[in-house]
Amino acid sequence: MANSLSGDSMTERIVRVLDTFTIDRTVQTATEIAARADLPVSSAHRIVGDLIDAGLLERDEDKRVRLGLRLWELALRGSSALRLRQAALPHMEHVQALIREHTQLAVLEHEEALFLERLSHPDAGANITRIAGRLPVHASSSGLVLLAHADPSIRERVLAGPLRAVARETATDAATLRAVLASIRRHGYVIAPGSIEAVSTGVAVPVRDHGEVVAALSVVLPRESATSAAVDALLDAATAIEQDLNLSR
């Protein structure tokens, strides 16, 4: 009943419509959405109309559409990510007060690092990360921490490649990455200079919930910065978050 002639479900097509909105493209016409979602214009218009009726999209004065707050509300209100992010935020603020660059929280989502939160000092250096943005697990410091503690089947799938060079210094051979992941498990942190951007160094540690690694806490520093204060601040914050998570259920 809900399937189109081409066999994709209505849900899939709704996701394709929502997926055309990005941090750099928050407003579109239904016709633009049709092209970007690879849907017939008539289908896109009908889906956009339904989504507007349901409050998941909103139409502005110029008949262009944007994501509705109702979608944000539905996605966040019952989300387990909200519990993690709420437990982490006060301790991220403490790291941020000490290090004054970028402090970030990421989780593993379909073999990528998905960033739940980012705090940034107004004068901080370069940082490609965005809230609700993703980075490859083999390149970002957060991703490496998540990969080090991921289910072995996920780790093997990622290491089997392809492993894209995000920057000139990104490690893209499995043997080097295996050594990095083993080091993370042994030492409890990673320092990844230049693996996402030549001008930055990522520092990340695991965050555990009842013993299981559920997130990576990281800072992004200018390339030549000292890293020991960041490692200490992150390890202290991760311990504090874990204690709060242990208390919270």
Which residue from 55, 126, 182, 248 is in contact with its own copies, where contact means CB under 8 A?
55
Q: Is 72 left (phi over 0), alpha (psi -120 to 50) or beta?
A: alpha
- Examine residue 74 and tell whether it contacts its own copies (CB under 8 A): yes
| Least Cβ distance, residue 92 to its own copies (angstroms) | 10
Spatial separation of the C-alpha atoms in residues 207 and 10, rounded to whole Å? 37
Which residue from 6, 31, 79, 176 is in contact with its own copies, where contact means CB under 8 A?
79
Nearer of residues 70 and 208 to its own copies, judged by Cβ? 70
Cβ neighbours of residue 234 closer than 8 Å, sequence gap 6 or more:
95, 189, 203, 204, 205, 217, 218, 219
SS3 of the chain: helix, strand, coil, percent, to 5: 45, 20, 35
Cβ neighbours of residue 6 closer than 8 Å, sequence gap 6 or more:
none
**Residues 164-180 as b or e (16 or more Cβ within 10 Å = b):** eebeeebbbeeeebeeb
- Examine residue 82 and tell whether it contacts its own copies (CB under 8 A): yes
- Examine residue 46 and tell whether it contacts its own copies (CB under 8 A): yes
Spatial separation of the C-alpha atoms in residues 100 and 119, rounded to whole Å? 9
Q: Is 194 left (phi over 0), alpha (psi -120 to 50) or beta?
A: left
- Examine residue 154 and tell whether it contacts its own copies (CB under 8 A): no
Which residue from 32, 67, 194, 199 is in contact with its own copies, where contact means CB under 8 A?
67
- Examine residue 69 and tell whether it contacts its own copies (CB under 8 A): yes
| Least Cβ distance, residue 86 to its own copies (angstroms) | 7
- Examine residue 6 and tell whether it contacts its own copies (CB under 8 A): no
Chain-centroid distance, C-alpha 235: 20
# residues near its own copies by CB under 8 A: 56
- Examine residue 9 and tell whether it contacts its own copies (CB under 8 A): yes
- Examine residue 133 and tell whether it contacts its own copies (CB under 8 A): yes
- Examine residue 19 and tell whether it contacts its own copies (CB under 8 A): yes
Which residue from 26, 31, 176, 243 is in contact with its own copies, where contact means CB under 8 A?
26
CB under 8 A: which stretch of 124-132, 157-165, 174-182, 215-223 binds its own copies? 124-132
Question: What single-letter DSSP state applies at residue 9?
Answer: B
Which residue from 90, 157, 161, 173 is in contact with its own copies, where contact means CB under 8 A?
90
Query: Residue 20: how many CB atoms within 10 A of its CB?
Result: 17
Task: Point out which residues bind its own copies (CB under 8 A).
Answer: 1-2, 4, 9-12, 14-15, 18-19, 21-23, 25-26, 46-47, 50-51, 53-56, 66-67, 69-83, 86, 89-90, 93, 107, 109-110, 114, 119, 122, 130-134
